[in-house]
Structure 1
Amino acid sequence: MSTDHQRYSTENQLETINRFAAAREIEIVRVYEDAGKSGLNLEGRDAFQRLLADVERGSADFGTILVYDVSRWGRFQNADHGAHLEFLCSRADIIVHYCGEQFENDGSIGSNLLKTVKRVMAGEYSRELSVKVFAGQCRLVEKGFRQGGMAGYGLRRLLIDENGESKSELAIGERKSLQTDRVILVPGPAEEVEIVRRIYCLFVELGIHEAEIAARLNREGIFTDLGRPWTRGTVHQILTNPKYIGDNVFNRVSFKLKMRRVVNTQEHWVRARGVFTAIVEVATYEHAAKIIEERSRRLGDDDLLNLLRALLAAQGSLSSLVIDEREDMPSSSVYRNRFGSLLRAYHLVGYSPQRDYRYIEINRRLRAMHPDVVATVINGLRDAGGEVRVDPETGLIDINGEFTASVVVARCGETPGGSPRWRIRLDTGLAPDITVAVRMDHGNTSPLDYYLLPRLDMTEPKLRLAECNGLSLDGYRFETLDFLFSLAARAQFEDAA
């Protein structure tokens, strides 16, 4: 369990399991329990990993595993993951029973169908909850409340009640305990605030670089808020973080559903300006940002790549932290801005990181492609004789004042077995009459085909497509957009008659 609320407390689960075992004369020989752990993946679920290890080693002294329900086995985002783990148990002649479910896990068609649906529902619950939580966090950020993360040097987290009254200052590692409480950032001790302002003064007015500033602070025996020596990176972080001018910034880095850690570009930040007490003047902060930007402009692309190659030769690997700690080269943000992403810069110097960052490049390319696809749709509709208007705020396309359409680009992904899959999210908020879903090819470089999905026939907000999906979906599949364009065409009354 990830929380101890209601029926998912481990005590309640064990009570149901005990009744199930007693009714079937099953002796419970061992309990594997992971309290306060998420079921999104195996990370942190030490007891569950021990259970699987006992099964795979053949050292299990039991023939049955009892689980409260399918969601306690895991809320894996890929339903096949949970099925694979159960298959490992089946291969070892150990059966898994879900004690709180309304079906027997007996291998029948009905139980297998229900179990598959339950697995998908368990993962979908986490996805929907993630969307709701993120939306709630964004609203709180816009209202000026801090969402997660440490305060940083020179700042402190202050706990306030629902009426905005101060309650107490939160120490490192402490969290609020009441749902109605909120957290804001306030200036820290006067000596820390003065150090922050001094850092900006040394950098902006005296032109001293981050590495020398860090060396000065270390020589004076001044440590960071974590009690560590200063580095070029920690000084650079202070010079580039907008929270020091009172801005509340969220979603700089995302790690949704514990799947992938993504460093987001500024266009995806959620930012509320001037909601905290600033400890640095906005003009000073902007001056520092301009210096950092101009400093990198003096170096050409080849110069930046040569520095990166030298760093790779010296370190053997590259990361944003390794780059930021290097004293004689620009920061990692410079490489992102100049080359579009760190991954592209790595590729240009012949470095392939161990982690697979291709999804970042693919998503960025698809986002860049979307306006061109929309333009193609609009031009095709107009060329067919249709009157097209586009809502500048929502992007909803109005055709002839008769029906509306929206365009989505579906990224091609793969199952663990290598089969292609496409996920399509229908924009239920805008409620277009037709959703034009562009399925990308296996390499996500060009459109494969098109689905024209009418709102009246689409009952779910999300679709997961395979290569073949049956007539209920593939009946709306087209090789080109000619059929869509024909819907906008106008004919003379005599011809129509």
Structure 2
Amino acid sequence: MRKRNYAQTADQPVRDPALAAAYVRMSTEHQQYSTENQLDTIRLYALTHALEIVQVYTDAGKSGLRLKGRDALKQLFDDVESGQAMYSTILVYDVSRWGRFQDPDVSASYEVRCRQAGVSVQYCAEQFQNDGSPVSNIIKSVKRMMAGEYSRELSVKVFAGQSRLIELGYRQGGTAGFGLRRQLIDATGSSKGELTRGTHKSIQTDRVILVPGPREEIHVVQQIYRDFVEEGRSEREIADRLNANGVLTDLERPWTRGTVHQVLINEKYIGNNVWNRYSFKLKQQRMRNEPAQWVRSDAAFQPIVSQLLFVAAQEIIQTRSYRMPDQEMLRRLKGLYEQRGYLSGLLIDEAETCPSSSAYQNRFGSLLRTYSLIGYTPSRDYQYLEANRQLRLMHPRLLNETTEKIHAVGGQVVVDPTTQLLRLNDELAVSLVLCRCHISGAGTKRWKVRFDLGLNPDITIAVRMAPGEEMALDYYILPAVDMHTPHLRLAENNQSNLEIYRFSTLDMLADLSRRSHYRRAA
């Protein structure tokens, strides 16, 4: 009889060292990561290590960027931490199956949770032994960072591809909207029919465009614009009229002030293809992007509303709020907050007493800034959005400042419009990275440098921003040959091996790009 190597305690259940569970996850990335292929490798590992697999946890078609939606992994944690699981080992194909997190510590925490519950984790397709040795821990850390970097690089490539398709006039996701329909076309541009709600294209080379919908819906959209522009009706009055006539939205719901307002401000009704108003990259926080970041293609579709009527509607929307004094706009918003207990863009658009959310954004810079003026703090910390917005404003300014300094000393510099990399003298690729200032609870300042490894720059200029992200403190000119990790954390005072790269201005970069003339040796 096999002797158990540990005894049952009040805190630790007895687990059979010969029993194991398998966890497999597949998104949509490669066939090599199919759940069947993972299980084949895991079963072979179990056989060679005298382990019996008694349970398999499968997350098929699930992204590895966050825990949300991965029910099998949640169940695994519940079974292990509650003591219900009798197995002593969890077999995983490789480190990336836990997830491709931007923070590698998240993936590490999953393994720690299992170990603390008395269950070991073994990686069946990795070339190292997960034995807790310093070497295996270092390799695991590198693998976790590589997994996260893979997702980041893939996100950049996917975004570039989607942007290109938008500029070519193809629709990227989302419902068509009332009065419009999604039409499927093949690689030659020939129509393959209409895509109904909930259906998607099945051939990779097929594309989707927007086309006018049924005549009666087109008439309703055009009437909404005429009522708003020519008759002077409000969104609420238009919604009431539509509901009284039994007209439903494209989602088969009654019309509201907000849904009418969305019809009045959406450029797709004049044929423009606009994308990236909001972003949700790497499954992080959803955020509203500045108009300069939108990707667009004008006159991509057949319009169902005239350009003149659309522009008139936008002028009315902006004018009616700009007539209202700042204090009156804020007073009405504060009244809505006191009435409802919270605020959101949709709630503001639905309120008859307030201007639209876009009006507040245009007047005060952003909704977050508007909220701060009336003393409202969202339940979640959105301050990073304000900081990121400020960084987006500062980046082109610092980029121009850098190029001007280089030109001033006779250097040549070209900025890639897609990647924003600077090409110096047709020899060096330089990445300009703005680092947001993080202030800890203890009041210390920290900066995180994220290297653009996917772009392979020769030099990264890390700009440490002052609190508030309105000015640069200093510059770290970091050569790629000396940087060996995808991230670098900077404090207010750093070690000498980092301080040698710090400069108070960009003059050093300009000196590096200065051309020198040498006389030919005899």
Structures share fold, TM-score greater than 0.5: yes
Percent of aligned pairs with the same residue?
A: 53
The residue aligned with 1:292 is 317
Residue number among 73, 80, 83 corresponding to 2:108 in the alignment: 83
Contact 1:389–1:397 (Cα < 8 Å) also in 2? no
Distance 1:484 1:143, change over 3 A: closer
- Following superposition, the deviation at residue 239 of structure 1 comes to 0.4
- Following superposition, the deviation at residue 110 of structure 1 comes to 1.5
Task: State yes or no: 1:201 paired with 2:222.
Answer: no
- Following superposition, the deviation at residue 379 of structure 1 comes to 8.1
Residue number among 268, 271, 280 corresponding to 2:305 in the alignment: 280
Distance 1:296 1:150 in 2: 29
Distance 1:398 1:11 in 2: 46
- Following superposition, the deviation at residue 420 of structure 1 comes to 3.6
Listed as ranges, the matches of 1:347-362 within 5 Å are 347-362=372-387
The residue aligned with 1:126 is 151
Task: State yes or no: 1:465 paired with 2:473.
Answer: no
The residue aligned with 2:361 is 336
The residue aligned with 2:265 is 240
Distance 1:47 1:213, change over 3 A: same
After the TM superposition, which of the residue ranges 397-406 and 148-157 deviates more from structure 2? 397-406
Distance 2:441 2:49 in 1: 36
- Following superposition, the deviation at residue 366 of structure 1 comes to 2.1
Listed as ranges, the matches of 1:185-264 within 5 Å are 185-264=210-289
Give the gaps of 5 or more residues in structure 1: 492-497
- Following superposition, the deviation at residue 423 of structure 1 comes to 2.4
Distance 1:399 1:478, change over 3 A: same
- Following superposition, the deviation at residue 19 of structure 1 comes to 1.1
SS where residue 58 of structure 2 aligns?
coil
Distance 1:106 1:349, change over 3 A: same
- Partner AA of 2:283 in structure 1: K
- Following superposition, the deviation at residue 368 of structure 1 comes to 2.8
Contact 1:245–1:277 (Cα < 8 Å) also in 2? yes
Residue number among 449, 452, 461 corresponding to 2:477 in the alignment: 452
Contact 1:386–1:399 (Cα < 8 Å) also in 2? no
The residue aligned with 1:162 is 187
Distance 1:398 1:71 in 2: 34
| Per-residue deviation, residues 194-235 of structure 1 (Å, max 9, x unmatched) | 100010110111010100000000001110011100000100
Distance 2:494 2:115 in 1: 29
Residue number among 402, 423, 431 corresponding to 2:449 in the alignment: 423
Distance 1:328 1:174, change over 3 A: same
The residue aligned with 1:312 is 337
Listed as ranges, the matches of 1:399-410 within 5 Å are 407-410=432-435
- Partner AA of 2:349 in structure 1: D
The residue aligned with 1:494 is none
- Following superposition, the deviation at residue 472 of structure 1 comes to 6.4
Distance 1:237 1:434, change over 3 A: same
Distance 1:358 1:188, change over 3 A: same
The residue aligned with 2:48 is 23
Distance 2:356 2:238 in 1: 16
The residue aligned with 2:519 is none
Distance 1:376 1:392, change over 3 A: closer
- Partner AA of 1:423 in structure 2: V
Distance 1:5 1:125 in 2: 13
Residue number among 72, 90, 93 corresponding to 1:68 in the alignment: 93
Distance 1:443 1:23, change over 3 A: farther
Distance 2:424 2:89 in 1: 60
- Following superposition, the deviation at residue 51 of structure 1 comes to 0.9
Contact 1:423–1:465 (Cα < 8 Å) also in 2? yes
| Per-residue deviation, residues 80-117 of structure 1 (Å, max 9, x unmatched) | 00111111111112111111111111111111111111
Q: How many residues align?
A: 488
- Following superposition, the deviation at residue 154 of structure 1 comes to 0.4
- Partner AA of 2:215 in structure 1: A
Distance 2:436 2:426 in 1: 31
Distance 1:25 1:181 in 2: 49
Distance 1:452 1:213, change over 3 A: same
After the TM superposition, which of the residue ranges 353-362 and 436-445 deviates more from structure 2? 436-445
Contact 1:17–1:66 (Cα < 8 Å) also in 2? yes
After the TM superposition, which of the residue ranges 281-290 and 21-30 deviates more from structure 2? 21-30
- Following superposition, the deviation at residue 265 of structure 1 comes to 2.0
- Partner AA of 2:500 in structure 1: G
- Following superposition, the deviation at residue 488 of structure 1 comes to 8.3
- Partner AA of 1:169 in structure 2: E
SS where residue 476 of structure 2 aligns?
strand
Distance 1:227 1:242 in 2: 22
| Per-residue deviation, residues 347-377 of structure 1 (Å, max 9, x unmatched) | 1111111122111100122233345545766
- Partner AA of 1:150 in structure 2: T
SS where residue 33 of structure 1 aligns?
strand
Task: State yes or no: 1:38 paired with 2:67.
Answer: no
Q: Calculate the TM-score normalised by the size of structure 2.
A: 0.85
- Partner AA of 1:356 in structure 2: D
Distance 1:24 1:254 in 2: 46
Distance 1:32 1:398, change over 3 A: closer
SS where residue 63 of structure 1 aligns?
strand
After the TM superposition, which of the residue ranges 26-35 and 466-475 deviates more from structure 2? 466-475
Distance 1:75 1:440, change over 3 A: same
| Per-residue deviation, residues 98-144 of structure 1 (Å, max 9, x unmatched) | 11111111111111111111111111111111111110011111111
- Following superposition, the deviation at residue 429 of structure 1 comes to 6.7
Distance 1:397 1:155, change over 3 A: closer
Contact 2:448–2:488 (Cα < 8 Å) also in 1? yes
- Following superposition, the deviation at residue 237 of structure 1 comes to 0.4
Distance 1:38 1:208 in 2: 46
CA RMSD of aligned residues (A): 3.3
Contact 2:415–2:423 (Cα < 8 Å) also in 1? no
Contact 1:67–1:97 (Cα < 8 Å) also in 2? yes
- Partner AA of 1:279 in structure 2: I
